[in-house]
A and B are shown apart, each in its own frame.
Chain A
Amino acid sequence: MDISREKLEWIYTTMYRIRRFEETMLEQTFKGNSMGVTHPSDGQEAPPTGICAHLTDKDWIGSTHRGHGHCIAKGLDTKAMMAEIMGKATGQCGGKGGSMHIADFSKGMLGANAIVGASIPLAVGAALTAKYKGIENESIGVSFFGDGASSQGVLHESMNLASIWKLPVIFACENNGYAEATPAWYAVSADDIASRAEGYGMPGVVVDGMDVFAVYDAAGEAIARARAGEGPTFLELKTYRYHGHFHADDPKKYRKADEEEHFRDRDAIKNFEKRVTSQKLMTAKKLKSIRDDVEKEMVEAVEFGLNSPMPDIESLYSDVYVSYSNPIQGLR
């Protein structure tokens, strides 16, 4: 296998961190410590991990309402993420964004975005900046979105723009089979969403989104093309969310039990463990020590969030504009 030991360790750490972050975040949500709606991505660890394994802080990603996995794979701090979900001043966005708007521009993360499809042209714009500045080889745009967003017009506009301008963009469609409760077999006109790429003059690749090695390989090829100035690629990553659409959603109401079992058998983390131990690439001891570190990190993230202060009420008015905070005074 053509992956360094360090990269394998990073992949395992990242996938396990995503899984445990989502589970921990849900526990905290049900304890009443989250201030709003959360959309867990457990089950979908392979796509963000296998793609972001090829990226640096100079590359940009756009994300979705189900964005915790993208954030973690792009290197965001889980303490600041947990504090943000708890609405605290120490949160990644000072408690003003919440789960659906976590961003870290210093890490090349353009923000989770709660309008389905709306972040897609932002990644195209980041790629436009790279092309404008002649730095495509070190800065590309990756747009993460789901099968639901594949029906949004702005995706199709963005694909056309990226193709005619030959921009360094990866369209990473995480097809988890459901847009909220509506199945993709009902809402998507094609068997493979990736087949639509052909109409926009770019390669479209169907990838097993439960296999992080398959994602890593397909993403590596697409990203190398982008960095070489050869334009965009569309990846359709067939994956599955174990949880409902949002924290309180019970997917059993609209999904059959055997379907979830099928995907759990193909769990990205479990299969990674089997493969690296059977091929003697990593030891069971090393895997355990990574898991132990992540468990410790999650305990710390929760403590950090719980012990952090609430934002100052005055921050209600700040950062609406760069040049001033609240131009309209005296309304109360």
Chain B
Amino acid sequence: MTTQQSINPLGPGYEGVAGKELRFRDVFRDTLRAEMIRDEDVYLMGEDISGGFDRDTKEPLDAWGGPFAATKGLVQEFGPERIRDAPISEAGFVGAAIGSALTGLRPVVDLMYFDFVTVAFDQLLSNAAKSRYMFGGQTRVPLTLFARSGAGTGHAAQHSESFYSMLAHIPGLKVVVPSDPYSVKGLLAAAIRDDDPVFLVNDKKLINLTGFVPDEDYVIELGKGRYMRRGEDVTLVGMSYTSITCQKAAELLAEIDIDAEVIDMMSLSPFDEDILIESVKKTNNVVIVDEDTPRASMSSEFAAVIADRAFDHLDSPVKRVTGPHSPVPYNRDLENAFIPQPEDVVKTVRHMLGRD
């Protein structure tokens, strides 16, 4: 099986590669399936992932196909031992997944909504992230977790968070945030094959989007970002859904002759410092766009790295467009005001460049 690690610097859709337009959710499921075929130590665990059981036969029904249909059809193919439906006990089953990873399996855990990570947080922080270090390198924790983040779907304060910065803060965990079908295929495969615990956070707003996906097997190296658009005047830094926001903003800026470069970080821990610095040294202006709240966040961390490594190249202060320092509201107008919009980015860039 060949593995293509190179990323087209201009993103997906490059010439000469066989592939097709696919929906994010379908790519997600197909990648899970491919990894389970590839390695029989890979199994999935999570609430409702086999979607109910028949009262008489006790067989799984796959009525839901898992949260957001992420595992649809997999229980018929792999059976309930490998598609292990768990009761609502996040600390218990995340802990059990870690225990199975320490003893030879490669668990993949569906935590449903990202907000539920707090219920399992002790297991992630104290066991998944620290076991290798505190036991002197004796062991490894090849665990993958995934969950859905993001506002914009009326899920309100406890089902809409984007607090991936909490995870990125923890030494020993890796955190990735796909932004399209191309990146979810490469990042999910890389996460499952990685020997460290990796948390993949995907914004709910991505789930029904389509995009070009190469047919070939490939992984995206953890810790690498990519250019989604090349430009000379300003760098827009996106992650997860805000990479799409940045692309839309770049299109709006092009209409007023501002040539924006867009970076999609893809990985938040570790993250690609070099791509940030390379771009800022060229454009001399940068706006970081993140749906997470601003304090002690990825945006503040990226700003710190830019200030440290590219201060002399900046023509203007580093600017951030983020969610406010508040929980996510329910009302649609409030929710839309919470989410960084392309127009917010345009306004910030215009002001930064003296073009407002």
Could you tell me which A residues sit within 8 Å of B by CB distance? 60, 62, 91-97, 101, 103-105, 110-111, 113, 115, 118-133, 141, 153-154, 157-158, 160-161, 164-165, 318-324, 327-328, 330
Contacts and interface: CB of A to CB of B under 8 A. Distances in A.
Contact of B91 (A94, A96, A157): A157
Contacts of B102: 105, 110, 122, 125-126
A89 to B, nearest CB: 10
Contact of B99 (A115, A141, A157): A141
Given A97-B136, A103-B138, A320-B133, A129 B91 contact: no
Contact of A121 (B87, B92, B133, B222): B92
B271 to A, nearest CB: 9
A141 B174 CA distance: 28
A161 B122 contact: no
B195 interface: yes
Nearest to A133: B104
Nearest to A324: B270
Contacts of B140: 322
B224 to A, nearest CB: 12
A94 B134 CA distance: 9
A51 B2 CA distance: 49
Given A92-B136, A110-B99, A129-B105, A160 B92 contact: yes
B99 to A, nearest CB: 2
Q: Which of B93, B98, B102, B222 has the most CB of A within 10 A?
A: B102
Nearest to B92: A157
B89 interface: yes
B194 A132 contact: no
Nearest to B96: A125
A129 B100 contact: yes
B213 interface: no
Contacts of B93: 121, 157, 161
Given A121-B92, A322-B196, A323-B195, A111 B87 contact: no
Contacts of B132: 319-322
Contacts of A119: 127
Contact of A327 (B87, B136, B270): B270
Interface of B: 43, 81, 84, 86-87, 89, 91-105, 122-123, 126-127, 131-140, 171-172, 174, 194-196, 222-223, 270, 308
A136 to B, nearest CB: 13
A101 B134 CA distance: 7
B304 to A, nearest CB: 10
Given A125-B97, A154-B122, A322-B195, 13 more contacts: A111-B135, A121-B94, A121-B98, A122-B98, A125-B101, A126-B100, A131-B81, A154-B92, A158-B96, A160-B89, A160-B92, A318-B137, A321-B174
Nearest to B195: A322
A315 to B, nearest CB: 8
Contact of B95 (A122, A127, A160): A122
Contacts of A94: 136-137
Nearest to A94: B136
Nearest to A106: B138
Contact of B122 (A118, A319, A322): A118
Contacts of A157: 87, 89, 91-93, 95
B133 A125 contact: no
Contacts of A164: 87
A30 B86 CA distance: 47
B137 A118 contact: no
Contact of A124 (B95, B194, B222): B95
13 contacts: A93-B134, A97-B135, A103-B131, A118-B123, A123-B99, A126-B102, A126-B103, A132-B105, A160-B87, A318-B137, A324-B270, A327-B223, A330-B308
Contacts of A330: 308
A93 B135 contact: yes
Given A101-B134, A113-B127, A118-B127, A161 B99 contact: no
B26 to A, nearest CB: 28
